[in-house]
């Protein structure tokens, strides 16, 4: 069955340091993978996606993610964290039997806290 | 552009009451969906629609009804609210297709006493 795991409930990083938010997945077939961000009291916003092609995907706000098929991972990264990056981050994968629909399965979320 | 608009932003209900959460989008998206967000559980799909007149169940549909009479609107109905339905509800829309991104509303925070 399709699933996605975010092993860390919270990630703490100092401003200016690199950050990584982890995501692993389990899918049959080609994975469609997404990262979304949720700022306090707001809806989710799209950051980036992997459908096919280059394993390094670049997205909004300087974020990037690396698709690793052998490790079934899709970790979110940024070279230099900002306090304004503090938010809740969700990894998502296309749902099983989604077919042509947009159905996604979301991870449980990782809270990123960037300290000044 | 308004995007995806949800109303109300906050609601308190008593057990057994009914209500409708409204969702409207102005992007002519075929796909619309409702999620609930609970601590430690991420977002779970309640119902979704791939076009006007077409709806289907998601992961946690019990206790919720939906309809899609127009492309723009996708209301979520709670017929008899229960405390277990206390949650934050998000509506999302997208162009049809698994590769397309979803656009989310700002959410409705619901408390059932």
Tens digit of each residue's pLDDT (9 = 90 or more) over B52-96: 999 999 989 999 999 999 999 999 999 999 999 999 999 999 988
Residue, of A90 and A28, whose pLDDT is higher: A90
Contact between chains at A98 and B99 (C-beta distance less than 8 A): no
Q: Which residues of B touch A46 (CB under 8 A)?
A: 101-103
Task: Please classify residue A94 by burial: count the beta carbons closer than 10 Å to its beta carbon, then call 0-12 exposed, 13-18 middle and 19+ buried.
Answer: buried
CA distance linking residue B42 with residue A34, whole number of Å: 14
CA-nearest of B74, B65, B77 to B20 is: B77
Chain A CB within 8 Å of residue B52 CB: no
Contact between chains at B96 and A45 (C-beta distance less than 8 A): no
Q: Which of A8, A39, A41, A43 to mutate to test the interface with B (most CBs of B within 10 A)?
A: A43
Helix runs in chain B, H state only: none
Contact between chains at A46 and B96 (C-beta distance less than 8 A): no
Q: Tell me which chain A residue has its CA closest to the CA of residue B102.
A: A46
C-alpha count within 13 angstroms, C-beta hemisphere, residue A67 = 20
CA-nearest of B89, B95, B59 to B77 is: B89
The Cβ of residue B18 has, within 10 Å, a number of other Cβ atoms equal to 11
pLDDT digits (tens, 9 = 90+) for A36-83: 999 988 889 999 999 888 899 999 999 999 999 999 999 999 999 999
Chain B CB within 8 Å of residue A58 CB: no
């Amino acid at each position: 069955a399709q699933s996605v795991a975010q092993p860390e409930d919270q990630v703490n990083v100092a401003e200016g340091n690199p950050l990584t938010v982890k995501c692993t997945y389990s899918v049959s077939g080609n994975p469609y993978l997404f990262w979304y961000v949720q700022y306090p009291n707001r809806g989710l916003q799209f950051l980036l996606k992997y459908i096919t092609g280059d394993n390094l995907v670049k997205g909004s706000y300087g974020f990037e993610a690396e698709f690793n098929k052998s490790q079934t991972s899709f970790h979110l990264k940024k070279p230099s964290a900002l306090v304004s990056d503090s938010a809740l981050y969700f990894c998502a994968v296309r749902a099983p039997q989604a077919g042509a629909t947009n159905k996604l399965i979301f991870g449980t979320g990782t809270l990123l806290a960037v300290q000044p | 552009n308004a995007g995806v608009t949800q109303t109300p932003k906050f609601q308190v209900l008593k057990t057994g009451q009914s209500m409708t959460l409204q969702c409207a989008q102005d992007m002519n998206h075929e796909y619309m969906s409702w999620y609930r967000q609970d601590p430690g559980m991420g977002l779970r799909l309640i119902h979704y629609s791939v076009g006007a007149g077409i709806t289907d169940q998601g992961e946690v549909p019990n206790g919720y009804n939906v309809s899609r009479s127009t492309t723009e609107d996708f209301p979520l109905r709670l017929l008899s609210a229960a405390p277990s339905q206390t949650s934050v509800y998000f509506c999302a829309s997208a162009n049809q297709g698994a590769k397309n991104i979803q656009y989310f509303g700002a959410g409705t925070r619901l408390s059932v006493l």
